[in-house]
Amino acid sequence: MREVEALLRKAARVDVPVVLTGETGVGKEVAARFLHAASARAAQPFVALNCAAVPRELAESTLFGHERGAFTGALARQAGVAERASGGTLLLDEIAELPLDLQAKLLRLVQERAFAARLVCATHADLAAQVQAGTFREDLFYRLNVITVEIPPLRRRPEDLPWLAERLLAEAVARFGPGPRHLAPAALAALADHDWPGNVRELRNRIERAAALADGPEIAPADLFPEQRLAPEPGSQPLLGAALEGATRAAIADALQRAGGNRAEAARLLGISRTTLWKRMRELGLAGE
């Protein structure tokens, strides 16, 4: 993510639209907030709108606001997100879901520089393909697509997993109250072995669930992946066996040290059976230690 951070810092120095792309759950809003915080607009509002979550009949009012009496039920003037973000940053998430008629109005605002906020758009869709399909305006695409930043999926960022998991755990503990403060080495190895189809959103979900339900002072693999069983079925490969040998060796050594050499307690800390621990120790040449 160092390259992404460097690009966002450069983009923060210039007041132009930015498009954030990437799979669902990779942290595009986090990137938008980072961009805002790094810019000269940091002290001004950051407003986010998920275009896919706004009902079609309320989309125009939500985006641009309305005056009192503009339609039935409009009892007072309401500022839209474009006005509320004035001076700051407006994130339009899932921009590809914006209806074509509202795309035209958004284009007019951008062209006439009536937009007083920096515009950041996020999407998991291929906007160029949407233009070809006729579902996204070509003129708006070129107005918005000044700087594009792709946020890579979590499976391509294994170096981010340890610090990101620890940060999410600290946030969860701060919200839920006293709980596990660290992830066991075996838990970090299990994180590295997972493919993360849900990206950072899935990681947050697993960390929060583990922080809320774990019994011990540390989070074990079984707390993160309760749907998996580390004790292998015949012919299957245990999760620890799929992790890096060095990480597994370190996890077992750490558990044994904390358990005072008691293998049953070490197995409990690792979230595996004594039989599985013995097998792994024998495979790694640790059984005689």
Q: What is the pLDDT along the chain (289 residues), one digit of tens a residue?
A: 788 999 999 999 999 999 999 999 999 999 999 999 999 999 999 999 998 888 777 777 788 764 554 555 554 567 778 888 889 999 999 999 988 988 998 898 888 766 688 999 999 999 999 999 999 999 999 999 999 999 999 999 888 899 999 999 998 888 877 777 789 999 999 999 899 999 999 999 999 998 888 877 889 898 898 877 544 445 545 444 444 567 777 778 877 888 888 887 877 777 677 777 777 787 777 765 5
Question: CA 120, CA 39: separation in Å to the nearest integer?
Answer: 13
Token digits of residue 101:
């008629």
Burial (0-12, 13-18, 19+ Cβ within 10 Å), 15: exposed
Quote the pLDDT of residue 33. 95
Measure the N-to-C terminal CA separation of the chain; round to a whole number of Å: 40
Tens-place pLDDT, residues 128-151: 999 999 999 999 999 999 999 999
Quote the pLDDT of residue 85. 86
Question: CA 121, CA 106: separation in Å to the nearest integer?
Answer: 12
Helix intervals (H) in the chain: 2-12, 28-37, 59-64, 81-84, 100-111, 127-133, 138-144, 161-176, 185-193, 199-213, 221-224, 239-242, 245-258, 263-270, 274-283
> Closest Cα partner for 227 from 244, 205, 247?
205
Question: Do the beta carbons of residue 59 and residue 66 sit within 8 Å?
Answer: no
The sign of the dihedral angle between the CA atoms of 167, 173, 178, 184 is negative
Question: CA 171, CA 286: separation in Å to the nearest integer?
Answer: 37
Looking at residue 174, the DSSP 8-state letter turns out to be: H
Distances (CA, A) of 157 to 108, 154, 232, 240, 243: 38, 5, 28, 20, 16
Quote the pLDDT of residue 246. 72
